[in-house]
Amino acid sequence: MNKIQKTFTNPVNIVLMALAIGINIAVGQLVAILKLPIYLDSIGTVLVGALLGPIAGFVTGVLGTVIWALTLNPGALPYAIVAGIIGLLAGVFGRRGLFTSNSPAWIGAVVGAVFFVAVSVFVLTLYTFSGDIWAIADKNGAPISISSLFAANQIVFIAVAVVGAVLGFLLIKNGGYIGLAGIVTGIVAAAVSAPISAYTSGGLNGSGTDVLVAGFLAAGQSVLTSTLGQGMVSDPFDKLASFMMVWAIINLLPIRVRDRFDAE
């Protein structure tokens, strides 16, 4: 308890949390204005979790979302718990040392392959659903789904998986563990946020991801299944990118700077 109290009374930690909240709101608001089909509003939260621990990450996520909702984006408020969970998981992974641990290069290859396949799914889904989203069907008249996208683009996915694996082996190298952590966090975030989106806004909340939700709805899926499908397309890709950004930031920081932060 004393350690937790110390975390929240250290001026350096408070400045970091405030800066992280500012980053979340600025990037999140820009993405919302541009209606991009991604979020990138948890980079600051992940950074706090990684440096200060799970509780600080959770508090930063929740508090940042509440402030954002009260000032610029009221629709963000129901997702405060999702932001908190992202910060909590980042803190758990940080306490396990994943942001600074070196992974075998083959894990980087796996993460690279998964990342490229996720981007391909993301792009193909967005492309498919960006046309007449209320009349989506394949050439046989069957509703479009993620499985049908895979079946129709097997060669593409195999090719991008190979390219991603090679690039991951060469570039990600030691960051494979945190890449996997980002993917896991994205899956958890999607599972938690799906029912929130379904029951607070019918899945359509004015963000750039609405085109994906609308596409799944047009393909005959329920609201809950559509929001979950959108989350499973967007969130792992988004959180993998956010976690890798934070991993790069932390590993660029001198050890003496990292040691200035008191973690619970």
pLDDT of 258 > 70? The answer is yes
Decide if 116 is inside a domain. yes
**How far, CA to CA in Å, does 16 sit from each of 19, 112, 133, 258, 262?**
5, 30, 42, 12, 11
Measure CA 202 to chain center.
Answer: 21
Between CA 178 and CA 246 the distance in angstroms is 9
Q: How many domains does the chain have?
A: 1
Decide if 182 is inside a domain. yes
pLDDT of 142: 47
**How far, CA to CA in Å, does 122 sit from each of 17, 100, 249, 262, 264?**
31, 29, 26, 38, 37
53-93 residue pLDDT tens? 999 999 999 999 999 999 998 989 999 999 999 999 999 99
pLDDT greater at residue 10 or residue 206: 10
pLDDT of 147 > 70? The answer is no
**Under 8 Å CB-to-CB from 68, ≥6 apart: which residues?**
24, 25, 28, 29, 41, 76
pLDDT of 140 > 50? The answer is no
Decide if 149 is inside a domain. yes
Decide if 78 is inside a domain. yes
pLDDT of 126: 66
Return left, alpha or beta for 179; rule: phi > 0 is left, psi -120 to 50 is alpha, else beta.
Answer: alpha
39-48 residue pLDDT tens? 889 999 999 9
pLDDT of 135: 40
Decide if 263 is inside a domain. no
Give 217's pLDDT tier (boundaries 50, 70, 90): confident
Over residues 223-228, mean pLDDT: 88
The neighbour count for residue 187, using CB atoms within 10 Å, is 15
Decide if 141 is inside a domain. yes
Decide if 123 is inside a domain. yes
Over residues 152-162, mean pLDDT: 82
Q: What mean pLDDT value characterizes the chain? A: 84
Length of the chain: 264
Decide if 76 is inside a domain. yes
Between CA 84 and CA 42 the distance in angstroms is 10
Six token digits for residue 230: 């959108």
- Domain span at residue 174? 2-258
